[in-house]
Structure 1
Amino acid sequence: MATEIADGVWRFECRGVNAYLVFDDVPTLVDAGTPWDEAAIRNGLDETGVAVSEVGRVLLTHYDLDHVGTLAALAPELDAPVRAYGFDAQVLRGARKPPLRNHKGLIQRLGGLLTDAVDLDVESVGDGETVGSFTAYHTPGHTPGHVAYVSEELGVALLGDLVSESDGDLSPSGWLISYDTSAVAASVRGLAAGAPPFEVACVGHGDPLASGGGEALRRLAATL
């Protein structure tokens, strides 16, 4: 199901995770659900009036089973660059594997057994790089290459799994699903201090905040 949470910002509810479509300079798919969410993504795009072939880019906040899962199924109709950061982009390309020495890396290795290889153009995005109206902010901790995207023009932040939402509040990514919770805390503080103002906070898990997103992130940062 697709829900418009702000002007031109649509939430696709997948299996325990959110993907989004943002009408920026081009229709932009943000993350891509689990391998079992192809119907949810396709139906969501249909509800917004966008064909898979009309998606202009994919912004990935990070590599995880529940954020890259449908990419292989959407190709070859999906003829758009996929932007991801550093280590996570390399894992998505198949150039590296998550480390077995880290508990989250082991979880990613197991998840990779259920994820088909992606035959798409995966382009690295740099910290501070502008993509459409969004600026990329490297926010490691949940994964080494986790990145958030903030559009001052749209007043929208794409926070991925840096934080989750519950009862209107944001919480940092926890130990079980993170590489490094100290890095998560530092990333939350850094993004809260360095990002431009925004109202809409799009999170991977929980409900997106249609207003007050920046303030919610600052409240969280003050506790870490």
Structure 2
Amino acid sequence: MEDMEIVTVGTPTANCYLVKGDAPYLVDTNTPRAGKRLMEAISRSRMRPEELRYILVTHYHYDHTGNLAELKRLSGARVAAGERDAEVIAGRRPPAGPGNISPAGRLLRRLPASLLEKYQHFESCEVDLPLHEGMVLDELGLEILELPGHTEGGVAYFHREKRLAFIGDMVSNILNRPGPPFLSFSYDRRAIVESMRRLAQLDLEYAYPGHGKVIGPGASEKIGHLAERLSYRWKL
């Protein structure tokens, strides 16, 4: 893809990204309540949903899959997601729920499962392209990177030529302060740090997170510094 324009569709809780170009695509779909805002953003971009060619999912959490099924129905776009998360997105495997690597996660694990399921509910959706490490979406110029630690099947979409990546929740940038994913819904601190170190090695100029502002310029350097701070703090 030679020309691309990235439109951030943000809410107070999450981001998704509309990418305009020869083969338009959407990265994540925000929360179920953000459906109207997402459709308005597509319209303001002088596009119709049926022009979307792909919907790329970074991981299965409801603030990334909240409008996935509806958008697939409207657009006919092909849905891509990491193969380990694809079964959750399709409704054939339950989500893992809160993790046990933080006090908040351990507290949430004590709540009735029905409460968490209601809060995190999204409509299941079939995944057309289960993704794994090293795959390339040639039409979009995107390489697939597996980034475990937050969910088992979390992935990033890396555009080597443009020096950018859509990184889901692996690094947040709330108030312009790079930080880790929400630990209450993550499962492995060591895997998080190793995934960050992978991003740090890519020479990224910009990284597009699921929460907070775009990271950059110098995204890889900033993420590398974060990884080392967390490694020290977590005694890894």
Normalising by the smaller structure, the TM-score range is: 0.7 to 0.9
**Equivalent in the alignment of 2:66:** 69
Task: Flag the structure with larger Rg.
Answer: 2
Q: Secondary structure of the residue that 1:220 maps to in structure 2?
A: helix
Residue 110 of structure 1: which of 108, 117, 121 is its match? 117
Deviation at 1:24, TM superposition (A): 5.0
TM-score (norm: length of structure 1): 0.86
**Equivalent in the alignment of 1:214:** 220
Partners of 1:33 and 1:152 lie apart in 2 by 25
Question: What does 1:10-21 correspond to in 2, within 5 Å?
Answer: 10-21=7-18
Partners of 1:101 and 1:18 lie apart in 2 by 21
Residue 53 of structure 2: which of 33, 56, 59 is its match? 56
Partners of 1:8 and 1:55 lie apart in 2 by 14
Deviation at 1:101, TM superposition (A): 8.7
CA contact (8 A) 1:61 1:160 kept: yes
CA offsets 1:81-115 (integer angstroms, 9 cap, x no match): 11101221111112212246955796896157631
Corresponding position: 1:39 with 2:36: yes
CA contact (8 A) 2:72 2:79 kept: no
CA offsets 1:1-29 (integer angstroms, 9 cap, x no match): xxxxx961110013410000123541110
Partners of 1:141 and 1:209 lie apart in 2 by 20
Which shows bigger deviation, 50-59 or 175-184? 175-184
**Equivalent in the alignment of 1:204:** 210
Structure with bigger helix share is 2
Q: 1:188 to 1:82 in 2, by over 3 A?
A: same
CA contact (8 A) 1:65 1:111 kept: no
Structure 2: where are the runs of 5+ without partners? 232-236
Partner amino acid, structure 2, of 1:22? V
Partners of 2:32 and 2:98 lie apart in 1 by 25
Q: 1:87 to 1:189 in 2, by over 3 A?
A: same
RMSD over aligned Cα, in angstroms? 2.5
CA contact (8 A) 1:63 1:91 kept: yes
CA offsets 1:174-221 (integer angstroms, 9 cap, x no match): 42121222211111112322x2x2222111111113522222112222
**Equivalent in the alignment of 1:3:** none
**Equivalent in the alignment of 2:89:** 92
Identity, in percent, stands at 30
Q: 1:46 to 1:100 in 2, by over 3 A?
A: closer
TM-score (norm: length of structure 2): 0.82
Partners of 1:93 and 1:146 lie apart in 2 by 15
